[in-house]
Chains A and B, each alone.
Chain A
Amino acid sequence: MDVKELIEKLDLKVLCGESLDRKVTGCYCGDLLSWVMSRAQEGDVWLTVMGNINSVGVAVLADVACIVLTENAALDADALNRAKQNDVIILQTEKNSYQIAAAISKLI
């Protein structure tokens, strides 16, 4: 599955991201950055409520497929700029992390 398909199936809103053909291979949930940094795998969808510039830094370094801001968590302007510079895909949903993770587990 790629990010584009994920967006369609889960009805996610795209906050940032142009090429959406990145492969999705797993999912990780967490808001504490150094946990996410060391546990999230390359290609994971990262579910979080942290929409600041540091999340974007972690997404780049951990090489996740995309960030999904759950429960409509907001994205800072700084974070959006950094995400654009680094081609990080950021999505948003009103659903919570549990609902999204459960849905992803049926898709991959």
Chain B
Amino acid sequence: MEEVKLHYDVNAYDFTCAGEASGKLKRSLKDLGFDASLIRRVAIAVYEAEINMVIHAEGGVIDATITPECITVVLADKGPGIPDVELAMQEGYSTAPENVRSLGFGAGMGLPNIKKYTDEMTIDTEIGIGTTITLKICNK
């Protein structure tokens, strides 16, 4: 398999689309013949980061690079940025507004889930500029 690159746009505040990009990526990985446990890890991590872009930022773009060994996914938004990344990474920390909580979000488990299911996770964030999260998940 050659390197495969996929791109997705994530719309702002569009809960009817949220989860669509991670769903599509999941299907592509299935078609490419990746193993189910790797697909599950990618799906969870990318879903959480995608939802965060919708809830906490104003949407953004997702770029995935797929090789037989590793899946690298870059999620970039132009949202408000994360003031304290260490705090945001703690289980249970959430600034999700009430309307979003009533939909089942806001447990403060998204970023910890991403950490748990990826081999590498980096967050580049600047207040007022945006946040870029890079994830890497490799075959074990």
Contact = CB atoms under 8 A, between A and B. Distances in A.
Interface of A: 31-35, 37-38, 42, 50, 52-55, 57-58, 60-63, 78, 82, 86
Interface in B81-110: 103-107, 109-110
A61 B23 contact: yes
B105 A54 contact: yes
Interface residues of B, number: 25
Interface of B: 15-16, 18-20, 22-23, 26, 36, 40, 43-44, 47-48, 51, 103-107, 109-110, 113, 116-117
Interface of B is mostly: helix
A64 to B, nearest CB: 12
B40 A42 contact: yes
Given A38-B116, A54-B103, A61 B16 contact: no
Contact of B107 (A33, A50, A57, A61): A33
A34 B43 contact: no
A41 to B, nearest CB: 9
B54 to A, nearest CB: 10
A63 B40 contact: yes
Nearest to B116: A38
Contacts of B117: 38
Given A31-B104, A42-B40, A54-B104, A37 B113 contact: yes
Contact of A38 (B16, B103, B104, B109): B109
B103 A57 contact: no
Contacts of B104: 31-33, 50, 52, 54-55
